[in-house]
């Protein structure tokens, strides 16, 4: 996929949602590094930090990322504790209005790519992000709890596909924070293939990912040509290859 040429008629941004219904799986790490890698390849990118925790927005504070971060939390801060009840209830008209305005602001973005760093629960932001995404990346660590949380995340993807005329979004499961010395870590790709969605390149558990956050940099800048950087580049290449399917 080549960088869009700006003409009088603007192309729509490609939207990538990084979503899972569990925290600690590396959503912000993937969001920041993927968006930064796309920027390093010459694309105009932006990250939408939809999580009230604001990890991506904090990461950008040092001003050393090649991409901007827009803090756009949609969920109420108190929502996380009560979301298990709320997922069985219809959102109010007021909430739907907020979600529609949020989605429109993202879809009207001028960049080539928007990467949405979703909160770790089923709330307005996660549902809205998946509803408008061209591609949903679902990070999964090699733990029983995280693998179990993959099914409900993919149910949201399936729900969006039933609602949308284009039958999107596409989905890609990302083995994240993987320790290859464990039995589950060695076999995580095989485990994830059972969900019936494509499995992307793995990001292993590496100190450099955590260190780069502390310095406000992405791994391609902080540790160029390191194993972590090569893993991010592999994910970037796979993402671009998949999005060719939805290029106009």
Which ranges of 5-143 does DSSP label H, i.e. alpha helix?
Answer: 27-40, 55-60, 83-86, 93-107, 124-132
- State residue 87's pLDDT score: 42
The answer to whether the predicted template modeling score (pTM) of the entire model surpasses 0.85 is: yes
pLDDT digit string, tens, across residues 67-96: 999 999 987 554 444 443 344 345 577 778
CA angle (87 as vertex; 188, 26 as ends), nearest 5: 35
Rg of the chain in Å (alpha carbons): 17
> Which parts of the chain have pLDDT scores under 50?
6-9, 78-89
Summarised one tens digit per residue, pLDDT across range 16-32 is: 999 998 889 999 999 99
Cα 144 from Cα 131, distance rounded (Å): 27
């Amino acid at each position: 996929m080549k960088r869009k040429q700006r003409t009088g008629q603007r192309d729509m941004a490609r939207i990538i949602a990084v979503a899972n219904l569990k925290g600690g799986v590396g959503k912000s790490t993937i969001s920041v590094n993927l968006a930064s890698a796309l920027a390093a390849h010459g694309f105009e990118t932006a990250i939408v930090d939809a999580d009230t925790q604001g990890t991506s927005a904090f990461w950008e504070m040092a001003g050393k990322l090649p991409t901007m971060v827009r803090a756009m939390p949609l969920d109420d801060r108190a929502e996380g504790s009560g979301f298990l009840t709320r997922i069985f209830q219809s959102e109010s008209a007021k909430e739907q209005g907020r979600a529609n305005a949020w989605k429109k602001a993202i879809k009207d973005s001028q960049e080539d790519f928007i990467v949405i760093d979703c909160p770790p629960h089923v709330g307005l932001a996660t549902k809205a992000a998946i509803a408008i995404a061209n591609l949903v990346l679902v990070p999964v660590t090699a733990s029983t709890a995280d693998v179990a949380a993959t099914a409900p995340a993919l149910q949201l993807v399936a729900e969006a596909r039933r609602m949308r005329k284009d039958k999107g979004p596409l989905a890609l499961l990302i083995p994240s924070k993987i320790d290859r010395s464990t039995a589950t870590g060695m076999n995580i790709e095989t485990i994830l293939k059972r969900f019936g969605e494509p499995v992307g390149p793995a990001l292993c558990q590496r100190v450099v990912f955590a260190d780069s956050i502390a310095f406000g940099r992405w791994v391609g800048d902080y540790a160029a040509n390191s194993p972590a950087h090569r893993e991010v580049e592999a994910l970037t290449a796979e993402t671009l290859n998949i999005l060719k399917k939805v290029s106009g």
